[in-house]
Amino acid sequence: MKETLMMAVQGQLSNLSQTDTKELGCAIDMIKDLSEAIYYCTITKSMEEAEEEKEEMMKMMKYSQQND
C-alpha cells in the first residue's frame, strides 16, 4: 500500500507543470498516516512482547523459589 502511494507521489512529481496538488497532498497525508500507524503498531507489539517476557521471568522465579 505504501509503495503504491509512493509511486503516485513520484508520478505527480515527475511532471511539476501538471501536478495535481490536491491529489499529491492527499497521497502524502496517507503516507504519513500509514507510517504513523506502522510506528505505533511496532511500539505496541514491542510492549506486548516485553510484558510476555516479564510474565515468563516471573513464572520462572516463582518456580525456582518453590523448588529451593
DSSP result, 16-44: GGG--HHHHHHHHHHHHHHHHHHHHHHHH
- Answer whether 0.85 is exceeded by the pTM: no
The predicted pLDDT at position 15 comes to 85
The predicted pLDDT at position 68 comes to 65
Residues of the chain short of pLDDT 50, as ranges, are none
**What whole-number distance in Å separates Cα of residue 31 and Cα of residue 42?**
16
